[in-house]
C-alpha cells in the first residue's frame, strides 16, 4: 500500500463532515428542490444526524449535554450504506474495530477503544438488556442504533468496559406508510422487506409499526448459505394527553452454512500439535470468499423479544416511566475451530456441537424531573432496575468431534459429525442484578454544569450442577456502588467541554472449553474498571465535531504456559490511553463528509513477565475512516458516495507472539431517487472493499477470522404513500 493510500482515510477524517440528503437534493438548508413532484426540504443533517440518544440511567439526553462519547447512527444512513450487520452500521466510526463477521464467522462484532463489547451484558433494545452471544441482531428493524463508548457502570450496571449498544425500534408513524424493498447481495442472497406504519382509532390514539424481513441465498463465502427471517411489531396507545402505553417485539431465526468458529494458531503447548509444541505464526491473509471449514458447518440462532411499558407525563417538569422485558435466545452449534498445526498451513478441523439458550427477564422504573433551589437548577433521575439472566445448556453441549486434517491453502470438505443436537436444556449459570440509581445534573450558570450519579447494585452470580442434580453449586455475591462524576463547561450554547470519571464492574473471565486450557470451565471473580475522559463537543447547523482524550484501566485476563500446559489466568491490569476525533461538515451545496480517527496505546501492566509491558491483544495503534457523498447538481435525486477505512496492525495474543497486519478498504456507491408512476422509488448500488483486500480480523485471544471480500449490494425501495 502506497504512502498516499495510507493517509487518504486520515486526510478525509480530519476534514469533518455532514451526511448527505437521502433524496440527493441540494444540501443547502436555504433551498428546496422539487423532484418530479416531490418537494424536498430536509437537509443532509436532518436525514443522518441525531441530536439525542439514550444514556441509560440518565434517560434520553441531548448529545451535547452528555459528558461521554456517544455515536448514534440513523435509519437513513443504515439504508443508504445498505448495512445488514452491526459492523457495517458503525464502519464510519474509527473507535470501532471489527473482529468477526456473521457470514464466515460466528457473528458480526467489534471492539470499542480496543475493548470488546460484552455480548451478554452490552446489548440493549430500547434500553432493556438482551443477549447477543455469537448472534446478529437484525439491523433493519431499528430507527436508530446508539453506541456509548467506554464504561457504562452507572448508566447500565455490570458490563465489560468496551461500551454499550442500544437498538431503538421503529415507532408508529403519524401518517399511513408502506415501504417495500428488494435487495441483492453477492453472491446470490436475496432480501425482501416490508415496512408498514400508521395510526387509527379516535383521535389516532392507536399506533402500529410492522416490519418483516426475509433473506435467503448464497453468501460471499464459497458454498456458503444463509436463511434468515425476522419480524418486529411496535404498538402504542395514547390513553390520554399524559399517559402512553407501548409494546415492542422482535422475532428472528437465522441459519448460516459454511461459517466457522475461527482460525487458531497452535503455539507453545502440545494440546493440538501431534508432533509436539512448536511456534505457529499467522499465515498470509486468505481471500474473504475462501471457505476454510467444511461446507455443512455452521450455526443457527433464534431470538424472541418482547417489551412493554408506560410513560406518564405527570407535569411539564416530571415524567415517570416503567418497562418490563423478556428475551429468549437459542443457538445451535455445528461450527468448527481451525487449529493451525504448522507453518505450512496444515490444520485440524475440530467441530463443536450443542445447543444453548439464554433467558433474560428485566424491569425498570425511572422518574425524571426538573426543579430549582435558589439559583441552582437540577435535572434529576431516580430509578430502580432488576434483571435476571439465565444460561442453559443442552444435554450434549460439550460434545466435540475431529472432522479431519487439511491445508488452509487448499481446504478439504469433511463429512459432518453424526452426533445429533439435543435441545433439552438444563440450568448452567445465572446472574441477578437488582439496582437503585440516582443522578443530579446541577446547572450553576449558563456555562457551568456538574453531574453526580450513583448506582447501588445487589449482584449474585450462580453456577449449577449441570451434570448432576441441577442444584446450585457455586455462588458469588457482591454489593458494589458505581459512581459517575462529571463537570461540563459551555463557552457557547453550541459547545461543551467536559471532564468525566466512571467506575464499573464486569463479570469475571470464564475459561472457554475446547481450546486446550488445562483449567477450562473456571470462572474468576468480577473485575473493576475505571475510566477518565476529557472531551469537547461542537454542534452547528452545518457541521459538528467531537474530540476526547481517555484512559481506561481494566483487569487483565490472558493465557500462560506452565509445565507444558496452557492456563487462562486473571491478574494485573491493562491500560488503554487514547485520543479520538470525529466530525461532520457540509462543503458547498453538494458535498458531504464524515470523518473519524483514533490513536490508542493499550498496554498490559502488573502481570506475568510473558505479557508485562506488551500491547493488549486486538488493539490497533491507529485507525481512521471516512465517507463522502456528492449530490449531482445537474441531476436532482442522484448521489455518488465513497468511503475508506484503515486499521493498524493488532497483536493476536497478550504476549504479542503474532501480529496481524494492517489493512485498508475502500467503498463506492450511488443511489437515485425518482418516481415510477406515482410512487417514489430509490435505487441503491454499493460496492464494498473494491480492491478485494485480504486481511485478518483479530477476535478473542488467539482467534482470527477472515475479513469480508469485495461485496456488491443492490436494492430498490418503493414507498406507497
Domain boundaries, the chain: 3-719
Phi/psi at 77 (nearest 5 deg)? -70, -40
Euclidean distance between CA atoms 127 and 325, whole angstroms: 10
For 393, 520, 597, 631, 709, the CA distances from 644, given in Å and listed in that order, are 42, 41, 12, 19, 14
pLDDT of residue 514: 58
pLDDT of residue 44: 52
- Consecutive H or E run containing 253: strand 243-257
Euclidean distance between CA atoms 721 and 174, whole angstroms: 12
CATH number of the 3-719 domain? 2.40.170.20
Euclidean distance between CA atoms 377 and 442, whole angstroms: 6
pLDDT of residue 151: 85
pLDDT tens digits, 488-545: 999 999 999 999 999 888 777 777 665 667 777 677 777 888 999 999 999 998 899 9
**Secondary structure letter of residue 633 according to DSSP:** T
pLDDT of residue 1: 39
Euclidean distance between CA atoms 629 and 587, whole angstroms: 10
pLDDT of residue 276: 57
How many other CB atoms sit within 10 Å of the CB of residue 514?
A: 13
pLDDT of residue 452: 94
The stretches in the chain having pLDDT less than 70 are 1-46, 267-278, 468, 512-516, 521
Give the residue among 604, 625, 522 at the shortest CA–CA distance from 92: 625
pLDDT tens digits, 580-602: 999 998 888 899 999 999 999 99
pLDDT of residue 273: 58
Scored b (16 or more CB within 10 A) or e, 257-272 reads bbbbbbbbbbbbbeeb
pLDDT of residue 308: 97
* Cis check: omega of the bond before 187, within 30 degrees of 0: yes
Q: Residue 313 forms beta bridges with which residues? A: 319
Scored b (16 or more CB within 10 A) or e, 396-432 reads bbbbbbebeebebeebeebebbeeebeeebebbbbbb
pLDDT of residue 708: 95
Amino acid at each position: 500500500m502506497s504512502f498516499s493510500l495510507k493517509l487518504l482515510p486520515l486526510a478525509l477524517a480530519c476534514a469533518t463532515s455532514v451526511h448527505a440528503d437521502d433524496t440527493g437534493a441540494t444540501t443547502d438548508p436555504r433551498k428546496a428542490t422539487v423532484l418530479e413532484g416531490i418537494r424536498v426540504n430536509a437537509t443532509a443533517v436532518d436525514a443522518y444526524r441525531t441530536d439525542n440518544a439514550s444514556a441509560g440511567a440518565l434517560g434520553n439526553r441531548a448529545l451535547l449535554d452528555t459528558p461521554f462519547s456517544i455515536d448514534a447512527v440513523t435509519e437513513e444512513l443504515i439504508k443508504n450504506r445498505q448495512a445488514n450487520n452491526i459492523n457495517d452500521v458503525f464502519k464510519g466510526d474509527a473507535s470501532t474495530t471489527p473482529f468477526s463477521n456473521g457470514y464466515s464467522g460466528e457473528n458480526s462484532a467489534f471492539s470499542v477503544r480496543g475493548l470488546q463489547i460484552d455480548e451478554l451484558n452490552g446489548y440493549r433494545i430500547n434500553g432493556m438488556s438482551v443477549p447477543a452471544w455469537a448472534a446478529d441482531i437484525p439491523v433493519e428493524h431499528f430507527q436508530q442504533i446508539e453506541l456509548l463508548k467506554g464504561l457504562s457502570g452507572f448508566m447500565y450496571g455490570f458490563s465489560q468496559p468496551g461500551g454499550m449498544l442500544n437498538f431503538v425500534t421503529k415507532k408508529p408513524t403519524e401518517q399511513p406508510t408502506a415501504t417495500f424493498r428488494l435487495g441483492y447481495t453477492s453472491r446470490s442472497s436475496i432480501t425482501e422487506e416490508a415496512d408498514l406504519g400508521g395510526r387509527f382509532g379516535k383521535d389516532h390514539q392507536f399506533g402500529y409499526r410492522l416490519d418483516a424481513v426475509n433473506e435467503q441465498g448464497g453468501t460471499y463465502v464459497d458454498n456458503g448459505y444463509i436463511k434468515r427471517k425476522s419480524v418486529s411489531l411496535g404498538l402504542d396507545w395514547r390513553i390520554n394527553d399524559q399517559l402512553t402505553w407501548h409494546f415492542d417485539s422482535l422475532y428472528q431465526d437465522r441459519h448460516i452454512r459454511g461459517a466457522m468458529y475461527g482460525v487458531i494458531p497452535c503455539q507453545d503447548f502440545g494440546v493440538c500439535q501431534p508432533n509436539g509444541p512448536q511456534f505457529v505464526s499467522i499465515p498470509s491473509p486468505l481471500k474473504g470468499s475462501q471457505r476454510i471449514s467444511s461446507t455443512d458447518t455452521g450455526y443457527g440462532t433464534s431470538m424472541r423479544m418482547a417489551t412493554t411499558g408506560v410513560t406518564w407525563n405527570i407535569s411539564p417538569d416530571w415524567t415517570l416511566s416503567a418497562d418490563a422485558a423478556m428475551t429468549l435466545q437459542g443457538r445451535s452449534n455445528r461450527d468448527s475451530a481451525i487449529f493451525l498445526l504448522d507453518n505450512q498451513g496444515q490444520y485440524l478441523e475440530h467441530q463443536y456441537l450443542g445447543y444453548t439458550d439464554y433467558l433474560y427477564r428485566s424491569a425498570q422504573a425511572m422518574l425524571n424531573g426538573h426543579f430549582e433551589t435558589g439559583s441552582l437548577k437540577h435535572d434529576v433521575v431516580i430509578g430502580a432496575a432488576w434483571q435476571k439472566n439465565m444460561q442453559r445448556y443442552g444435554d450434549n453441549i460439550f460434545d466435540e468431534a475431529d472432522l479431519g486434517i487439511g491445508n488452509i491453502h487448499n481446504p478439504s470438505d469433511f463429512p459432518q459429525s453424526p452426533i445429533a443436537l439435543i435441545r433439552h436444556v438444563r440450568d448452567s449459570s445465572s446472574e441477578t442484578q437488582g439496582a437503585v440509581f440516582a443522578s443530579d445534573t446541577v446547572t450553576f450558570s449558563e456555562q457551568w454544569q456538574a453531574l453526580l450519579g450513583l448506582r447501588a447494585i445487589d449482584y449474585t452470580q450462580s453456577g449449577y450442577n449441570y451434570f448432576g442434580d441441577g442444584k446450585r453449586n457455586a455462588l458469588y455475591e457482591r454489593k458494589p456502588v458505581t459512581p459517575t462524576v462529571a463537570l461540563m463547561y459551555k463557552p457557547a450554547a453550541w459547545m461543551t467541554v467536559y471532564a468525566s470519571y466512571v467506575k464499573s464492574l464486569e463479570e469475571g473471565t470464564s475459561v472457554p472449553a475446547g481450546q486446550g486450557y488445562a483449567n477450562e470451565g473456571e470462572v474468576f471473580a468480577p473485575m473493576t474498571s475505571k475510566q477518565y475522559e476529557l472531551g469537547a463537543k461542537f454542534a452547528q447547523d452545518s457541521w459538528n465535531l467531537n474530540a476526547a482524550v481517555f484512559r481506561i484501566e481494566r483487569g487483565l485476563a490472558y493465557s500462560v504456559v506452565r509445565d507444558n500446559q496452557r492456563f487462562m489466568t486473571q491478574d494485573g491490569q491493562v491500560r488503554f490511553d487514547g485520543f479520538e476525533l470525529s466530525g461532520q461538515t457540509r462543503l458547498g451545496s453538494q458535498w458531504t463528509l464524515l470523518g473519524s480517527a483514533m490513536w490508542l496505546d493499550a498496554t498490559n501492566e502488573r502481570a506475568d513477565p510473558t505479557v508485562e509491558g506488551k500491547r493488549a491483544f486486538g488493539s490497533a495503534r491507529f485507525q481512521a475512516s471516512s465517507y463522502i457523498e456528492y449530490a449531482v447538481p445537474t441531476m436532482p435525486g442522484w448521489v455518488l458516495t465513497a468511503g475508506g477505512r484503515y486499521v493498524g496492525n493488532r497483536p493476536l495474543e497478550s504476549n504479542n507472539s503474532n501480529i496481524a497486519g494492517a489493512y485498508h478498504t475502500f467503498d463506492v456507491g450511488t443511489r437515485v431517487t425518482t418516481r415510477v408512476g406515482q410512487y417514489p422509488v430509490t435505487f441503491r448500488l454499493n460496492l464494498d472493499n473494491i480492491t478485494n483486500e485480504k486481511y485478518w480480523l483479530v477476535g478473542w485471544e488467539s482467534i482470527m477470522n477472515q475479513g469480508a471480500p469485495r461485496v456488491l449490494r443492490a436494492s430498490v425501495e418503493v414507498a406507497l404513500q
